[in-house]
Structure 1
Amino acid sequence: MPATSLADWLRSASDEALATLLRSRRDLATPPPADSTVLATRAATPGSIARACESLDTFTLAALETLLVAEADTEPVTAAHLAELLGADVRSALDLLRSRGLAWGEDDAVRIAPGAREVFGPFPAGLGGSLPSLAGADLSTALAEVGNDERGLLEALAAGPPIGQTKDAAADVALENAETPVQRLLARGLLIRRDDRTVELPRELGIALRGGVFRPGSLDEPALPTNPHRQTGVDEAAAGEAMEFLRQVESLLHAWSAQPPPVLKAGGLGVREVRKLAKDFEVEESRAVLLAELAVGAGLVADSQDSTPEWVPTTLTDSWLASAPAQRWVTLAQAWLELPRLPGLAGRKDSRDKAMAPLSEDLRRPLAPTGRRRVLDALADLGPGAGVKSTEEFVALLAWRAPRQGGRLRDEIARWTMAEAAAMGVIALGALSSAARALLDADRAGAVGSMVDALPDPVDHVLVQADLTVVAPGPLEQDLATELAAVADIESAGHATVYRVTEVSVRRALDTGRTAAELHELFRTRSATPLPQALSYLIDDVARRHGRLRGGAAGSFLRCDDEVLIAEVLGHAAARELDLRKIAPTVLISSHPLAAVMDGLRAAGFAPAAEGPDGRVLDLRPNGRRVPPRTRGRSRPVLAEPATVSPEQLSAVLTHLRAGDRAASSRRGDVVRLPRGGGADTSATLALLSRATRERREVWIGFVDSHGTASQRVVTPVRVGGGLLESAENERYPLHRITSAALVEPD
């Protein structure tokens, strides 16, 4: 017998079909439905239907809307009629709708739940109500008789929505007396008057004007032209972008260590700070926002949460900076995938017409990871090396595949994801990198390995130029990069970084304890070009003047073998500010910290060096402020997809469901119910259960679980005692939760 209701359809479905339904519509399984009737009721609610529709593509949604147009929510519709209305093969769409519980029945009697009409509104497919007088009429002849102005009005209403407001609908006017297009169409019976100011285009006429429920070709999946690339080429290009992004994040951390930006009173990062980042890094403001958001999202920067809060690097910064480039990139890329925020919203106006600040709670969107992963998964499906030619064509394809997903920011999220992924080296040439593909598969080790393979091999030499610039022809080995950063300043960054050696940079290197001989040796052994004489002169000249003054802690002290230089320092105005006084012909002391004395003397034109207890030069430069990493909403990991239902959970839900169906359909004898109220006599129920145990009879029971949910079961008792009913199915039921019981009568 054909199923006439969704509950009947579900009751007759296989376990595999029910498992597919529960996997695709996870809201139906929580809490486990008592039986198929409860499951059908949940599946037919407008809220659940709306959620199920979010994952449907445009064609499948159109098939569902067309079923509404055909009024399948009240009477069954054949699959052949649906195909005729859509003008396309509907078998795959119907199979998908059935698997999601959005339609049921065989091809000769397809039905849908009435709740679907609430989801799609009063005008499914943008068509109006039916006008019986037009059914079977020759509409092409009727349309040929209307004028151009009338035809234009009909076409506008056919595009949807099918209603229009007009003062011309106030009264009936004969065709010969009609003066306006609306009056003439009403007189011809081609419009429906809803009230004195509203007209509606009949469904039959709308379908005729469109050439179907939907215009031909409007439901076709958009084509996506792609460019084939070698995957190695994609990976190398992505690695280049990744290195530049890592350099900029590193620069941000160093800059905010030295001078943390303030936190706005309302939270977030100020416009001035964003513009400063963009100017310093020579990038667009959108990229500066992404850098700041990811630094915080990865836990490398946090709100200091003191009386004057600032954005300060955390203790995780030092370990991140010490990591290999591939490890650093994976940390940032993983944080981006899980970031429950939309950096692209920064600067846009909120509902109060106020600009949303970066790092503020205004940018928080918990479903952002889902939208981000949806874009990347679609790129992954294109295959290795396949790159999209146009972002807009790709956005259109994603919109076709899930038009009801993502809300009003759906297309913007796709564009932001593509731009951010390109900036970070997640994609290159429009294609997904191998490292990003591994991250999508939750293979962190594979992502690191892929990025290591893609990054160029570090170089162990530099090119020293006559103008005292030093060119690094690629990424430097870690120790060489550290040594070079100590003695030279970056002048321009990129695939070939250019450094410049100056008097200040050489003195900075000497301040860290390096000697002139060590600096000569560095350039002699690491330069692939002959050293210019000017570089040797510069190092020797700075070293000759450096460290003649030696400082220690008294608060601090200064010593110098040259009594004339001691006298010169003591006679300088800075001596009073630094509280310097002579305690010996060659020794001065101060109550100020040594670092403050060194800075003050350097500002006064001297070149002192700090020394330790053993007389060796000390590096007193601060590493920058650090705060503990914060566990806050913006850095808390978020699953990109809702948790799936495990096979064990599915099995338990199906067992629960089938047991409920069996209980509902069983023939029962006289039912013994527990009296209401506490302390009631349960002797009749216990007697019935004991009898069933002795006779090995099946018993129908009604019980309430620990969540307060009432359900029914058919069980075979094997033991009653100790406040429990134990069944042959290895289940236990507390007696105080059993509300009724009855022996199951044989068929």
Structure 2
Amino acid sequence: MLELAARLRAMSREELAGALGLREFDAASVRDQFDLAEALLAPDSLDAAISRLDRPHLAVLAAISAIAGADGAFTDDELTAELDRLEASEVIVDRLGALVDDLSQRLLIVTGDGRRQVPSPVATRLRSRLGDDLPTAAELAASAPPVLAPVDGVDRTILARRGSEAAFATVAATAELVSALGIQPARELAKGGLSLPDSKRLAEATATDLDQVPRLFRRALEAGLVARDGAYWLESDLGGAWALLPAPERWKRLVECWRERIPPALRELVARRSETLSASAFRDDVRWLYPAGGRWLDEGLERLSDEAEALGLVVAGEPLEIARTVVAGDLDRACAEIGAGFPPPVDRVYLQHDLSVVAPGPLEPSIDARLRGFADLEARDLASTYRVSAASVNRGLAAGESAESIRAFLESISLTGVPQPLDYLVHEASHRFGSVRVAAAPESDAPARASIRSDDAQLIGTLEVDQSLSALALRRSGEHRLLSRFAPDVVFWALSDAKYPVAAEDAEGRILRLKRHRLAATPVPATRSDPLADLLDRLASGEGGPATEDAWLARQLEAAARAKETLTVTVRMPGGQTADYLLAPASVANGRLRARDRKADIERTLPLSAIAAVAPAPAE
């Protein structure tokens, strides 16, 4: 442990940050380099570090553990000879220098001053697992078993086409989920997850099974397309921009987020070897490469397999070539390849006399968004159907459309002109728009928050007795006026859903434009303290100065006493000379060291001020 503590002390802040970032350990009780060395050599920390090593790294570490002397020291020649004895593969031999450097970077071996050493806890922990839950050293060093390329006669163009279909369906379903949350937020339960009514609504909107909604929602959340506002989930501003992108670009965003959650080690494996891996043997090959892999490997494999099929990277368990392209990071190329299999978008529709709008293919995103402003999606598929109604036109008018703008837009996208029934509906809805007005109630009407007025007293009476509006608790306040204790926007959308020609207005009677499609700001991650940075600050605060050097010496001796290690202690003699003693420290107290002299077999007590240096005892 002394060598590791000394190595930690000699590293720069940047080097130490990079090395500690590769390890898992309990940093809460670390005060100095000795505490850090103890934390890094704890069994849990070592198991976590070993689980992240691939087979070549494990083989080299196993060979080092086998040849290390009592003090853990080894030479490059000894390591090379041991690997020759184990008949190590060419991959290990050719990369030996890089593998040793990687182990040093992970603080599993200590290098410096021309000396290489493996800490005793590392060697002991690894040796106890070899041949038990890990392969033997010889098995680790052996060449990889041959993997035959599958010869299945499957037409890969058919698989690629099916993959594109699955990817397009996923993109479309995700877009519908995001749009549905923009129109009506979904409530988050206190125990986590979406409420059942909202889940059913989203399942219907996305045309998916109810049990698929959580996965679909998670995909949108990971891509930042939805955001939480209080107890409700809404479409985020990023989701609003994403919805206007072409379908291949939408897919690219989803697959990019999926790739980021795959451990880098698995990305490298797929990118390097997927051309020779069959789907059925993929998991076995991954576990062969990472024989000590634990939870991180299982989670990575789950992520790799669960979402791959939905994103069109795998079909019926068979990985496609585009999967390797994505994992390798060439997303632009993958986007172009997957987009070639997507149905081409259209910018024209058929307007029917029954007030339906039929799109012969997926609409351009901007046209689809505009059309949904005053029409309801009735059926979503490659050929989608929309329905125009008085209520939907009223919704568009409330959002800022006019009869003229709606007619002009329909004429610009129609392949069949604007049918007379549709033109009449738009005209009548525009004429009736604003027959009912909703505004904020004045303070004199408190506790009422919203007022409803209409010049048609009979219409006011109808609103008062409408059972579908009973939740608003409407009460009469004059022949042409009603009051409600709910906010004006809540009252407005309740009346709109009940298909009344409602408009919002301000205190001066001017029409207000309301949009139900509400976006939540993409949350900015809260600034959190970095535990690693805090640890580095604590370590740096204890460096420099004579007092620090004395404390460092005392900590070295205390650590050796706890570990029952023998040290070479250099002592200053009265004449200015120095003498080396082979001592086994017993305790350090009151500025003095009490230790057993291994050569003279006597107990010595030395003042710490007389000790010039300490070093590990030479190997016997």
Q: SS of 2:385's equivalent? A: strand
**Is 1:251 aligned to 2:138, yes or no?**
no
Displacement of 1:404:
2.2
Q: In the alignment, is residue 622 of structure 1 matched against residue 505 of structure 2?
A: no
Whole-Å Cα distance in 2 between the matches of residues 489 and 78 of structure 1?
A: 73
8 Å contact from structure 1 (residues 674, 739) kept in 2: no
* 1:124 equivalent in structure 2: 131
Partner in structure 1 of residue 54 of structure 2: 56
Question: In 2, distance between residues paired with 1:582 and 1:47?
Answer: 75
Deviations 1:527-553 (A, max 9, x none): 224555554454455455544455556
The aligned counterpart of 1:196 is none
Question: 1: CA distance between counterparts of 2:219 and 2:252?
Answer: 12
Give, as a single letter, the amino acid of the residue that structure 1 aligns with 2:216.
L
In the alignment, the residues of structure 1 paired with residue 292 and residue 160 of structure 2 have an alpha-carbon distance, to the nearest angstrom, of 34
* Equivalent in the alignment of 1:260: 186
Distance in structure 1 (CA, Å) of the matches to 2:314 and 2:497: 48
**What does residue 320 of structure 2 align with?**
431
Distance 1:268 1:551, change over 3 A: closer
Conservation of the 8 A alpha-carbon contact between 2:399 and 2:513: yes
RMSD of aligned C-alpha atoms?
A: 6.2
- Opposite residue 357 of structure 2, the aligned amino acid is V
Q: 1:739 to 1:494 in 2, by over 3 A?
A: farther
Aligned-partner residue type, residue 150 of structure 2: P
Stretch of structure 1 that moved more, 323-332 or 463-472? 323-332
Unaligned runs of 5+ in 1: 1-6, 8-18, 28-33, 84-88, 105-110, 128-159, 162-212, 340-368, 638-670, 676-683, 686-736, 742-747
Correspondent of 1:393 among 269, 273, 281: 281
What is the rounded CA distance, in whole Å, between the counterparts of 2:93 and 2:143 in structure 1?
Answer: 19
- The amino acid that maps onto 1:431 is L
Q: For 1:315 and 1:595, how far apart are their aligned partners in 2?
A: 21
* Cα distance in structure 1, aligned partners of 2:328 and 2:144: 30
The one of 286, 293, 308 equivalent to 1:421 is 308
Task: Write out aligned runs for 1:65-84 (5 A).
Answer: 82-83=86-87
How many correspondences in the alignment? 479
Deviation at 1:485, TM superposition (A): 0.8
Alpha-carbon spacing, 1:469–1:581, altered in 2? closer, same or farther (3 Å): same
Distance 1:220 1:408, change over 3 A: same
The 3 A distance-change label for structure 1 pair 381 and 543 is same
**Correspondence list, 1:200-349, <5 A:** 220-225=145-150, 241-257=166-182, 258-265=184-191, 267=192, 277-278=202-203, 280-283=205-208, 287-302=212-227, 304=229, 309-311=231-233, 317-318=239-240, 320-321=242-243, 329-339=251-261
Alignment check: 8 A CA contact 2:244 2:365 kept: no
3-state SS of paired residue (2:460): helix
**Which consecutive unaligned segments of at least 5 residues does structure 2 have?**
4-14, 24-32, 70-77, 110-116, 443-450, 531-569, 578-608, 614-620
Q: Does 1:485 align with 2:411?
A: no
Q: Distance in 1 between matches of 2:426 and 2:610?
A: 91
Shift of 1:558: 3.3
Identify the residue that residue 695 of structure 1 maps to in structure 2: none
Q: Write out per-residue CA displacement over residues 288-316 of structure 1, whole angstroms, 9 at most, x where no aligned residue.
A: 333333444344545556xxx44455565
Q: Is the 8 A contact 2:571 2:610 kept in 1?
A: no
Displacement, 1:51?
3.7
Corresponding position of 1:525: 412
CA distance in 2, matches of 1:481, 1:603: 21
Q: How far, CA to CA, are the matches of 2:432 and 2:519 in structure 1?
A: 31
* Aligned counterparts of 1:227 and 1:235: Cα–Cα separation in 2: 15
The code of the aligned residue for 2:189 comes to V
Q: State the SS of the aligned residue for 1:629.
A: coil
Which structure has the larger Rg over C-alpha atoms? 1
Over 3 Å counting, the alpha-carbon distance change for 1:97 and 1:558 in structure 2 is: same
2:176/2:205 contact within 8 Å kept: no
TM-score, L = length of structure 1 = 0.48
Taking the TM superposition and a 5 Å limit, the aligned residue runs for 1:632-643 are none
Query: 1:121: Cα distance to partner?
Result: 3.1
Question: Contact between 1:223 and 1:397, CA under 8 Å: does it hold in 2?
Answer: no
- Alpha-carbon distance, 1:232 to partner: 11
With over 3 angstroms needed to count, the CA separation of the structure-2 counterparts of 1:264 and 1:97, relative to structure 1, is farther
CA, structure 1 residues 518+422, in 2 after alignment: closer, same or farther (shift >3 Å)? Answer: same
Q: Secondary structure at the match of 2:309?
A: helix
Identity of aligned residues (%): 24
Deviations 1:56-79 (A, max 9, x none): 33x8867987999xx767899776
Secondary structure class of the residue paired with 1:100? helix
TM score, norm. by length of structure 2: 0.56
Amino acid at match of 1:119: L
In 2, are the aligned partners of 1:294 and 1:332 still within 8 Å (CA)?
yes
Return the alpha-carbon distance in structure 2 between the equivalents of residues 546 and 78 of structure 1. Answer: 88
User: Tell me, what secondary structure is at the counterpart of 1:416?
Assistant: helix
**Structure 1 residue 461 displacement after superposition:** 1.0
Q: 2:460 aligns with which of 550, 569, 582?
A: 569
Q: Which of 631, 636, 647 is equivalent to 2:525? A: 631
What amino acid does structure 1 have at the position aligned with 2:453? L
Q: State the distance in 2 between where 1:272 and 1:376 align.
A: 39
Q: CA deviation at 1:420?
A: 1.0
Which amino acid counterpart does residue 121 of structure 1 have in structure 2? S
**Structure 1 276/378 Cα, relative in aligned 2: closer, same or farther at 3 Å?**
farther
Aligned AA for 1:525?
S
Q: Look up the SS of the partner of 2:357 in the other structure.
A: strand
Classify 1:628/1:431 alpha carbon distance in 2 versus 1 (closer, same or farther; 3 Å): closer
Deviation (angstroms), 1:474: 3.7
CA contact (8 A) 1:578 1:600 kept: no
| Contact persistence 2:165–2:342 (CA under 8 A) | yes
Q: In the alignment, is the contact (CA less than 8 A) between 2:435 and 2:502 conserved in 1? A: yes
Kindly provide the CA deviation profile for residues 497-517 of structure 1, in whole angstroms up to 9, marking residues without a partner as x.
Answer: 332334443343344343444
Paired residue for 1:381? 272
Are the equivalent residues in 2 in contact too, given 1:46–1:119 (CA < 8 A)? no
Q: Deviations over 1:648-707 (max 9, x none)?
A: xxxxxxxxxxxxxxxxxxxxxxx99699xxxxxxxx89xxxxxxxxxxxxxxxxxxxxxx
Residues 461 and 312 (structure 1), Cα distance of their counterparts in 2 relative to 1, 3 Å cut: closer
1:558 equivalent in structure 2: 453
Going from structure 1 to structure 2, the CA distance change for 1:232 and 1:540 (only over 3 Å counts) comes to farther
Deviation at 1:252, TM superposition (A): 3.2
